[in-house]
Structure 1
Amino acid sequence: MDTLTPVTEHLLRDMALPEPDSDSKDGRGRVLIVAGCIGLPGAVLLAANTAMRAGAGKLQLAVCRDLAIPIGIAVPEALVIGLPQSEGGSISRTAAETLASPAERCDALLAGPGMAEDAESEHLVAALIRAVGDGAVVLDAGALAALRSDPALTRHLPRPAVITPHAGEMAKLLDRERAAIEAEPLAAARAATERFGTVTVMKGARTHIVAPDGQAWCYAAGHVGLATSGSGDTLAGLIAGLLARGTAPAAAALWGVYAHGEAGRRLARRHGGIGFLAREIPGEIPAILADVLA
């Protein structure tokens, strides 16, 4: 039987988060988030706010041109890059050239929240991964399609990319039935890690995390209230923010999963169970991180 380590605050205390190397925002890293489409602009906000709440120092958001001004007003902390868009309202593949330099210079790249799952996104994400320099990478939602087309895409990276699929997305990644993924989520996470060379976060009622060296963890203390629209976008942003600070990929995944789950538990206590909103998750994160390290 597979050995699974529980994700607890005691575990995390043995992998303390990096301290900023200066009192400058540059010391906490730069996140580039490439996300959203005309139909799902809110995913950008959720990921962006959580990345900042995780302690990232600088934030860049790359979005469809029509979203740039409203997103910039909604997230005044960010530098916003307006990109060409397709007729269907997704970021155009032609944006790859514009994003090559920001991708190369960022400390953490997050692609996928709210992105359309189409050929435009697939081409763009592949180009971004090839352009990224020493920065860490998180792939979520629509960005995962690029791995289906090229399973070796992330293997050249200096650090393992982190992927965050739910059961439906994992079924597409592995070309299996969703029911099979839900029946054996750990086996699915291991298969994805082996195929793509990633740190795999298999989201679910029990979230399984598998690293390329074979280590596996399970977080089972989340709350059903987290099964709500936009929750996954906050988790992806949280992991990206931790990576920007210099956290190793597996540690960032573990801290992110724990803090996300604990945020759900705290919100549920205040709101009476289900009914809290994904937009309320980011505000819980700084206190949770501080409490673990106290």
Structure 2
Amino acid sequence: MPLPRHEKGDDKNARGAVLVAGGCVEVPGAVLLAGLAALQAGAGRLQLAVCRSIAVPVGVAVPEARVIGLAETEQGHIAAAAAPVLAQRGARARAMVLGVGTMAGAESEALTAQLLEALEGPALVLDAGALAALRGCRPALRRHAGRAILTPHDGEMAELLEIPRTAVLADPLAAAREAASRFQAVVVMKGGCTRIVTPQGEAWECDRGNVGLATSGSGDTLAGILAGLLARGATPLQAALWGVYVHGEAGRRLAADQGPVGFLARMLPGEVPAILAALGPPHG
């Protein structure tokens, strides 16, 4: 499943645009991590959609991105009223990340449901707060069948399926297959051994990761890598398989260089271009 080839002379639009929507006043950095990872996975353009009160510092921190300030709640979370703006912006992107750095709650659930109902076009990576909303909007998510990736860890998977976490841990592959079938999406179930499962039940496992990857922000970088590959034209399954492997390999290289624990999630994206260059197709 080779990644799309990019020819000499292609402009940035040929590698697609990524829109990352998420974060909150307490966790603004998740969007930065995902956005930088998307660019270093090869996306051509980046937009970050965040609470209006943090838009300027986010733009200064990521000068490569266009930043969109969204309506926010008194608690500093993206308001459900922002859904129409996100749907409009998302329609112009090739891939969209939703949920990184957001918290579960009624506002997040309403935002996710309204956006999934209105959005047309991009491939989706749904993470963190967006996952918690999916139980109540399965019909809306099914509109995006064939172009969505879900990225739960075991706790989020238990909430998605409304089963005990112990049941997920007892048979994570079965849980991932159930979620992929129920939500008609590729599922990347994160863990020491990550499972990648299609709605048809095809399954892969990757144990490339290490203990150092179990660190704050690591999942945000994975979401960004997935979106960057989707923007380049990879299918959800291609993006999931390549993204999980590359994320794990980045952790392996940092562990060899820095030590098994203590490297930071912000260091992972910098490893991605060299890994892809070594493994991917030559470019014209």
**TM-score with structure 2 length normalisation?**
0.96
CA apart distance, 1:34 = 0.5
**Which residue among 169, 182, 194 is the counterpart of 1:182?**
169
SS of 2:147's equivalent in the other structure is coil
The superposition leaves residues 118-156 of structure 1 with CA deviations (integer Å, 9 ceiling, x where unpaired) of 111111122222233221011000001221112232211
Alignment match, 2:5: 19
2:45 to 51, 58, 69: 58
Taking the aligned partners of 2:145 and 2:179, their CA distance within structure 1 comes to 18
Aligned partners of 1:54 and 1:242 also within 8 Å: yes
Runs of 4+ off more than 4 Å: none
1:76 aligned onto 2:77: no
The alignment partner of 2:69 has SS state of strand
CA distance in 2, matches of 1:201, 1:152: 20
Q: Per-residue deviation at 1:158? A: 5.6
Cα deviations across residues 178-224 of structure 1 (Å, max 9, x unaligned)?
Answer: 11111211011001011100100010010001011221000012111
Check the 8 A contact 2:21/2:48 in 1, yes or no.
yes
Distance of 1:86 and 1:55 partners within structure 2: 34
Question: Partner residue of 2:275?
Answer: 288
Partner amino acid, structure 1, of 2:237: A
Does residue 273 of structure 1 match 2:260? yes
Contact 2:71–2:78 (Cα < 8 Å) also in 1: yes
Secondary structure of the equivalent of 1:88? coil
Instruction: Tell me if the contact between 2:181 and 2:200 (Cα under 8 Å) persists in the aligned partners.
Output: no
Which of 90, 93, 104 matches 1:106? 93
* Contact 2:189–2:196, Cα closer than 8 Å, also in 1: yes
Could you tell me which amino acid in structure 2 is paired with residue 183 of structure 1?
A: A
Residue 136 (structure 2) aligns with: 149
Contact 1:199 1:212 in 2 (8 A): yes
**Other structure's SS at 1:154 match:** helix
Instruction: Report the 3-state secondary structure (helix = DSSP H, G, I; strand = E; otherwise coil) of the residue aligned with 2:25.
Output: coil
Q: CA–CA distance in 1 between the matches of 2:96 and 2:117?
A: 12
Q: TM-score, normalised by structure 1?
A: 0.92
Query: Match for residue 188 of structure 2?
Result: 201
| Structure 1 match to 2:224 | 237
The alignment-based identity, stated in percent, is: 57
Task: Please list every run of 5 or more consecutive structure 2 residues that lacks an aligned counterpart in the other structure.
Answer: none
Matched, 1:136 2:136: no
User: For the structure 1 residues 167 and 157, does the alpha-carbon distance in structure 2 shift closer, same or farther, using more than 3 Å as the test?
Assistant: same
Equivalence for 2:154: 167
- Flag structure 1 segments of 5+ consecutive residues without an equivalent: 1-14
Q: Which residue of structure 2 lines up, in the alignment, with residue 228 of structure 1? A: 215
- Which residue does the alignment assign to 1:6? none
Are 2:84 and 2:115, in contact at CA under 8 Å, matched by a contact in 1? no
Task: Give, in whole Å, the separation in 2 of the partners of 1:153 and 1:161.
Answer: 12
CA contact (8 A) 2:28 2:54 kept: yes
How far, CA to CA, are the matches of 1:129 and 1:243 in structure 2? 18
What SS does the aligned partner of 1:152 have?
Answer: helix
Question: For the residues of structure 2 that align with 1:134 and 1:68, how far apart are their CA atoms?
Answer: 25
